[in-house]
Amino acid sequence: KKWVEAAKFLGCHSIRVNAHGVGNSDEEKAANTTKGLRGLSEFGQNHGINVIVENHGGLSSNGKWLSKVLKDVDLPNCGSLPDFGNFGGYDRYMGIKELMPFAKGVSAKSHNFDSKGNETKTDYVKALKLVLDAGYRGHVGIEYEGRKMGEDEGILATKELLLTVRDQLAKDYK
């Protein structure tokens, strides 16, 4: 709750949290995560703060599991922050599609690029079509976690890729 209060003090609109869950089974972890997120989100509502959950390892990287938790929380200020690169072994495109109905932001993560400037693990055209098809028109943050470029260069390469895809898709989306 102190982070909600700190976010309010700083003029932020959201805090980002993890949702790994505590319990012996996936169902128990989901129930406990739902309860915790609901309580935090209710507190956040009273302060005008969104609580957003990034798929960030463990069960939270399972789009089906996390989207069910968010559906069960059922509060307008509790949402997702789909991260293109944090689905682990889960199908990233399925995960993006499952989390987009709850999205309050999107994280365009990149690791490496081919000679044409495309990310080697994520098809950005496919990913951003899912984002746009969900009706999302908000912020897209950039994260570079590769090792072949410096951080600044990787961030700029990701930005350039996003701009290229935006221009490519602009005629089909408003």
- The 3-class secondary structure across 73-137, one letter per residue, is HCCCCEEEECECCCCCCCCHHHHHHHHHHHECCEEEEECCECCCCCECCCCHHHHHHHHHHCCCC
> Is 20 a residue whose pLDDT tops 90?
no
User: pLDDT, tens digit, for every residue of 115-173?
Assistant: 999 999 999 999 999 999 999 999 999 999 999 999 999 999 999 999 999 999 999 99
Q: What is the mean pLDDT of the chain?
A: 97
Helix, strand or coil for residue 161?
helix
Please, is 167 exposed, middle or buried when counting C-beta atoms within 10 Å of its C-beta (0-12, 13-18, 19+)? exposed
pTM score: 0.95
Residue 146 C-alpha from the chain's centroid: 19
CA distance 40 to 170: 37
Is beta strand 78-81 parallel, antiparallel or unpaired with respect to 50-54? Answer: parallel
> Is 75 a residue whose pLDDT tops 90?
yes
* Residue ranges covered by each domain of the chain: 1-81, 105-174
CA distance 95 to 74: 19
Instruction: Give Cβ neighbours of residue 10 (< 8 Å, ≥ 6 apart).
Output: none
The percentage of residues in the chain with a pLDDT greater than 90, rounded to a whole number, is 98
Question: Nearest Cα to 21, choosing from 52, 50, 61, 51?
Answer: 61
